Structure 1
Amino acid sequence: MPEPKRGRLWAVFFISAVIIATAVYISLTNGAFDISVMDVVKTLLRLDPVHEHDLVIFDFRLPRIVIALLLGLGLGIAGAVIQGIARNPLADPGMLGINAGAGTAMVLFMLLFQGSITGTGWLSIMAMPLFGLVGGLTAVVLILWFAQERGQLDSQRLILVGIAIGSGFSAITLYLSLKMNPSDFEMATVWLTGSIYNANWRYISAMIPWLVLLIPLLWAKSRVLDVMQLQEASSMGLGVDVHRERKILLLGSVGLVSACVAVSGSIGFVGLIAPHIARRLVGLHHKRVIPVSGLVGMAMVVVGDLIGKTVFAPAELPVGIVISIIGVPYFIFLLLKNRM
């Protein structure tokens, strides 16, 4: 497949930015309490602030938009890396059981601490993503253990084992949720659908360190991911320690997914669809695919959240359900396309 020209890459960035900016504009100005663009600008720049506008923008709408953008960025990039590791275009964090492992840890966190740890220190902020990270890492350890054959990690076996591990964690999650009191069970149920309606600046503070640390690391491994698309013997012949690099990339992806799942629940299909769209737009080189996957993921989540809270108003549909409605037909299309 020929590499697209640089101008096309910038066009993709521009169009993605326009879509994201349009969705952000509509989300900020429209809702049960409409706010004009000028009032939004004045509120953001602190020019003649109004208490009602501050409340709507800074406490409700802006945290939700920022969380949606960060989630899309993290899940899109993690999906691109995981598909590169598995050398399978149908792989994604949910299919490998990472979402399920992090989800089980988060439900356990809700059961033990009712969704938060009191206090103002760093532990109270980082507790949720740390629980999610432990759950995701547990899933990866189990996957690596069962997916290895004669000391070698098989890409196809990785996906099959991931599906089995994910099913096991989902069963544990269901069992834990049934042990909750009614209020915590309701919170867990809403969270498991992939909802960001309770987004706040505390969640954003918990996510950002993981994204800032892991995204540059994964992007720096773009060339390694390109080489890993060759046969394993060829990759090693080019000087790439495939097993070591695969584990580093997998752990980095787990960190991203776990941080996202910790604040939003399991939002499926972003990590599957965003890399596909990115490869069709900018080619196969991961140096381009990774950032474009992040941009496409951002657009998917922020637009999906906008649809969920406006199209079905006054009811509100979680963004995870909206994206699943779109993602299931696309996944079937990919399955049929790969069979041809």
Structure 2
Amino acid sequence: MHKDSARRYWTVLLASCGTILAVAYISLTNGIFDMTVADVMRTLLRIHPVPEHDLVIFDFRLPRIVIAALVGLGLGVAGAAIQGITRNGLADPGILGINAGAGAAIVIFMFFFEGQISGTGWLSVMARPLFGLAGGLGAALLIYIFAWRGGKLDPQRLILAGIAIGSGFGALSLYLSLKMNAQDFEMATVWLTGSIWNANWDYIVSMLPWLLIFVPVIMRKSTILDLFQLEENSVKGLGVATEKERSILLLSSIGIVSACVAVSGSIGFVGLIAPHIARRLVGIHHYRVVPLSGTIGMLLVIVSDFIAKTVFAPAELQVGIVISIIGVPYFVYLLFKARA
């Protein structure tokens, strides 16, 4: 039985990775400026490079695909962790208000610094993720204050507090965006709906450290996430420092989500859908659910971004809108299933 479940896990994981590569290839070769396989290979391998092909691949399409993959990975992993912490399958970073807190901080950054800090050093690259992290931590602190009850963190109050805090930060973001000039308002509006059209290599460099630090932390804590599905007293009886472990997992999730929001805006539902699909495919053990949630999140965002940039070309949808079109019906389905 164990061998069958392990075989199933590796089959699903490899199939997901293969599908990601196939969709990435399609996205790389298709668009307003179509390219052949030979064109792409020659450009990537630097065989008789053509400036136009270099521009399309290295400045526009490849950074966008990489950003979509990293954002999907981060949101999927963070969503699995948050659902494990709260023991609630309807929880995700957006519902908990972490997206809204990080988003509000970045709108403040756009409002005061017009979206950038002068210079080309690490400060200019890392400024937006750092603002996002500060906003995510601020939202988490407020959620902690309201969700703390009887000397411990109440998972149900956590969600209710997150919805309320998220609404407040969303209102703050809207108020500040209305105070911007027309150009900055348009940029903030597009970003708030979830968009990676302005992807570049600096954005990739700015979010990689957060993913490299926090994703392994959550994966190493996957056994703790399994234990959190038990009653609180049972978990403590097994010798687990519940508040410490919950704080580490929650802070790791906030770091990941803040980095993702900093480069892509508030993309919802990925952290909700990916863990559900992963659990349906490989079971409830988090050492399998967490990495598979990451790969499914990657696939969701890459596919949604490809749809967003091609369906109404040359006009373009925001990737957050496409994912919402997929996510809202799935969320309603989960609500009805939970009631049943």
Which consecutive unaligned segments of at least 5 residues does structure 1 have?
Answer: none
Are positions 1:176 and 2:181 aligned together?
Answer: no
What aligned pairs does 1:80-95 form with structure 2 within 5 A after superposition? 80-95=80-95
Change (3 A) 1:288 1:247: same
Greater displacement, 17-26 / 217-226: 17-26
Residue of structure 2 in register with 1:334 after alignment: 334
Q: Alpha-carbon deviations, 1:207-257, whole Å to 9, x = none?
A: 101000111111000111111110000000001111111111000000000
Please tell me whether the aligned partners of residues 3 and 282 of structure 1 are also in contact (alpha carbons under 8 angstroms): no
Q: Take 1:4 and 1:312, find their aligned partners in 2: how far apart are those partners?
A: 44
Residue of structure 1 in register with 2:40 after alignment: 40
Q: Take 1:307 and 1:174, find their aligned partners in 2: how far apart are those partners?
A: 27
Letter in 2 for 1:265: G
1:41 deviation in Å? 0.8
TM-score (norm 2): 0.98
1:201 deviation in Å? 0.3
Q: Take 2:98 and 2:3, find their aligned partners in 1: how far apart are those partners?
A: 32
1:39 deviation in Å? 1.0
What aligned pairs does 1:146-165 form with structure 2 within 5 A after superposition? 146-165=146-165
Residue of structure 2 in register with 1:128 after alignment: 128
Residue of structure 1 in register with 2:295 after alignment: 295
Greater displacement, 170-179 / 97-106: 170-179
Residue of structure 2 in register with 1:240 after alignment: 240
Which consecutive unaligned segments of at least 5 residues does structure 2 have?
Answer: none
Q: Take 2:4 and 2:164, find their aligned partners in 1: how far apart are those partners?
A: 38
Change (3 A) 1:287 1:3: farther
Displaced runs of 4 or more, over 2 A: 1-4
Of all paired residues, the percent bearing the same amino acid is: 68
What aligned pairs does 1:5-154 form with structure 2 within 5 A after superposition? 5-154=5-154
Please tell me whether the aligned partners of residues 191 and 264 of structure 2 are also in contact (alpha carbons under 8 angstroms): yes
SS at match of 2:90: coil
Please tell me whether the aligned partners of residues 95 and 159 of structure 2 are also in contact (alpha carbons under 8 angstroms): yes
Residue of structure 2 in register with 1:311 after alignment: 311
SS at match of 2:135: helix
Q: Alpha-carbon deviations, 1:12-41, whole Å to 9, x = none?
A: 112212221121111111111111111101
Q: Take 2:93 and 2:262, find their aligned partners in 1: how far apart are those partners?
A: 14
Residue of structure 1 in register with 2:323 after alignment: 323
Letter in 1 for 2:123: L
Q: Take 1:10 and 1:225, find their aligned partners in 2: how far apart are those partners?
A: 21
SS at match of 2:119: coil
Q: Alpha-carbon deviations, 1:87-131, whole Å to 9, x = none?
A: 000000000000000000010000011111111211111000000
Residue of structure 2 in register with 1:273 after alignment: 273
Letter in 2 for 1:310: T
SS at match of 2:71: helix
Count of aligned pairs? 340
SS at match of 2:157: helix
Please tell me whether the aligned partners of residues 3 and 283 of structure 1 are also in contact (alpha carbons under 8 angstroms): no
SS at match of 1:5: helix
1:2 deviation in Å? 8.8
1:189 deviation in Å? 0.4
Q: Alpha-carbon deviations, 1:142-167, whole Å to 9, x = none?
A: 00011011221100010001000000
Please tell me whether the aligned partners of residues 84 and 225 of structure 1 are also in contact (alpha carbons under 8 angstroms): yes
Residue of structure 2 in register with 1:205 after alignment: 205
1:4 deviation in Å? 5.7
Q: Take 1:332 and 1:5, find their aligned partners in 2: how far apart are those partners?
A: 30
SS at match of 2:337: helix
Q: Take 1:311 and 1:186, find their aligned partners in 2: how far apart are those partners?
A: 22
Please tell me whether the aligned partners of residues 87 and 155 of structure 2 are also in contact (alpha carbons under 8 angstroms): yes
Q: RMSD across aligned C-alpha pairs, in angstroms?
A: 1.2
SS at match of 2:34: coil
1:5 deviation in Å? 1.4
Change (3 A) 1:330 1:204: same
Q: Take 2:17 and 2:222, find their aligned partners in 1: how far apart are those partners?
A: 23
Q: Alpha-carbon deviations, 1:51-72, whole Å to 9, x = none?
A: 0000000000000000000000
Residue of structure 1 in register with 2:193 after alignment: 193
